[in-house]
Amino acid sequence: MVFFGKKSPITGKQNARKTTGLKAASTRSIINKYHQLNKRKLQLQGLKKRMKKAEEQAKEAEIDAEITQIDSEMEKLGGLEVYQKASLKGQDQTRGGDSSHVLLKWLKNEGNELALEEGQEKKLLEVGCLSVSNAVSKSTEFDTIDRIDLRSNDPLIKQQDFLKRPLPKSDQEKYHVISLSLVLNFVPVTADRGKMLQLTTKFLHPQGLLFFVLPKACVENSRYLDGELFDSIMASLGYEKLEETTTDKLIYQLWRCRQEKAKYQKFTKNEVRSGSTRNNFCITL
Ligand SMILES: C[S@@+](CC[C@H](N)C(=O)[O-])C[C@H]1O[C@@H](n2cnc3c(N)ncnc32)[C@H](O)[C@@H]1O
């Protein structure tokens, strides 16, 4: 597959975007283009790393040129800042709403109780956080909410890559609930997706809960992932599914972490569905 040497914009027509007044269609378009560019950039960087032979190294300049083109297209879209604003728009009630409403509703259901020990504060870690005024932030459900994102837009959101977050040194640094809503699909490297899921188990108290949201297409129309395989990956990490619901576009799930049940099987990239209209979303572990 040749990625480099492209002259026309990688994601088609480009327009400078304003950061406000985004329409639903342009919100979706920014999010999709940003994902495509991010993924292509990672592919090129990986390709560059694997190049060893002298003749391959000659192609490096072409790859660098395409990476520069991608950076400039991302910049024209408005960068991560506008991507996040587009995602925030997607959280508007009119466009599907803030996913933390679903978490709050599920926490009330029998069987989904938090495993709190005496004297413990109820703690939530929100990974990939765009807003400090979503439903869960307005509720009194948690004593502490820690929020992180690759790019912080508020002092209450720590700028941090979850994949690089130092592991908890004590129980006090663990959480009763982790929210991973529409983040895994943003991670461009398949092995990092598996690593991200595995890491959640390290940050949860025993029997902690993972609230997980993913675009439906990642599971229902992928060449390399279906619901059964995803459930097996989660079961291998020790997760038991408590809740699941789907909308037109999204899958919401609530999982309980039982690390004692983890089997840590290996999951590689294998086709589970064929067809030319499939996407290539994949998780390896
Ligand atoms: C589509 S937004 C989702 C925001 C919100 N959780 C929601 O459900 O609407 C994805 C966010 O995840 C963040 N993100 C992606 N990878 C991340 C990582 N490794 N660590 C922390 N945040 C990450 C991105 O910066 C982006 O702000």
Q: Is residue 281 part of a domain?
A: no
| Mean pLDDT lowest among 11-20, 77-86, 119-128, 131-140 | 11-20
pLDDT at position 191: 92
How many distinct structural domains can be found in the chain? 2
Domain span at 59: 24-90
Interface predicted TM-score (ipTM): 0.99
Nearest Cα residue to atom 3 of ligand 1: 182
Nearest Cα residue to atom 8 of ligand 1: 181
Would you say the CB of residue 134 lies under 6 angstroms from ligand 1?
A: no
Task: Name the one residue in this structure whose structure tokens are 């690390």.
Answer: 259
Binding site per annotation, positions: 128, 149
Q: pLDDT for 193-247, tens place per residue? A: 999 999 999 999 999 999 999 999 999 999 999 999 999 999 999 999 999 999 9
C-alpha of residue 267 to centroid of ligand 1, in Å: 24
Q: 30 with 110, same domain?
A: no
SS (H, E, C) the chain: CCCCCCCCCCCCCCCCCCCCCCCHHHHHHHHHHHHHHHHHHHHHHHHHHHCCCHHHHCCHHHHHHHHHHHHHHHHHHCHHHHHHHHHHHHCCHHHCCCCHHHHHHHHCCCCCCCCCCCCCCCEEEEECCCCCCCHHHHCCCCCEEEEEECCCCCCCEEECCHHHCCCCCCHHHCEEEEEEECCHHHCCCHHHHHHHHHHHHHHEEEEEEEEEEEEHHHHHCECCCCHHHHHHHHHHCCEEEEEEEECCCEEEEEEEECHHHCCCCCCCCCCCCCCCCCECCCCCC
Tokens of 217: 């297409």
Q: 157 with 186, same domain?
A: yes
Nearest Cα residue to atom 6 of ligand 1: 181
175-181 and 157-159: which strand pairing? unpaired
Of the three residues 90, 112, 136, the one that is the final residue of a domain is 90
Distance CA 158, CA 144 (A): 14
Q: 36 with 164, same domain?
A: no
Would you say the CB of residue 192 lies under 6 angstroms from ligand 1?
A: no
Nearest Cα residue to atom 25 of ligand 1: 150
Q: Which residue in 66, 65, 60, 59 sits closest to 37, CA to CA?
A: 66
Would you say the CB of residue 136 lies under 6 angstroms from ligand 1?
A: no
Would you say the CB of residue 189 lies under 6 angstroms from ligand 1?
A: no
| Mean pLDDT lowest among 56-60, 102-106, 116-120, 161-165 | 56-60
Looking at the CA of residue 148, tell me the nearest atom of ligand 1. 21
Q: 137 with 243, same domain?
A: yes
Q: 216 with 256, same domain?
A: yes
Nearest Cα residue to atom 10 of ligand 1: 183
Mean pLDDT on 132-160: 95
Q: pLDDT for 78-106, tens place per residue? A: 777 777 777 776 665 444 568 999 999 99
Of the three residues 52, 69, 90, the one that is the final residue of a domain is 90
Binding site per annotation, positions for S-adenosyl-L-methionine: 128, 149
Mean pLDDT on 45-60: 71
Q: 184 with 229, same domain?
A: yes
Would you say the CB of residue 162 lies under 6 angstroms from ligand 1?
A: yes
Q: Is residue 3 part of a domain?
A: no
Q: Which among 22, 101, 157, 183 is the best mutation to test ligand 1's pocket, defined by most ligand atoms within 8 Å of the CB?
A: 183
Which CATH number does the domain housing residue 134 bear?
3.40.50.150
Looking at the CA of residue 80, tell me the nearest atom of ligand 1. 25
Distance CA 238, CA 255 (A): 10
Q: 31 with 140, same domain?
A: no
C-alpha of residue 10 to centroid of ligand 1, in Å: 23
Residue 57 has pLDDT above 80, yes or no: no
Q: 232 with 98, same domain?
A: yes
Residue 53 has pLDDT above 70, yes or no: no
Q: Is residue 74 part of a domain?
A: yes
Nearest Cα residue to atom 23 of ligand 1: 128
What are the backbone dihedrals phi and psi of residue 252, each rounded to the nearest 5 degrees, phi first? -115, 140
Would you say the CB of residue 197 lies under 6 angstroms from ligand 1?
A: no
Q: 101 with 183, same domain?
A: yes
Q: 169 with 209, same domain?
A: yes
Q: 36 with 149, same domain?
A: no
Distance CA 62, CA 5 (A): 6
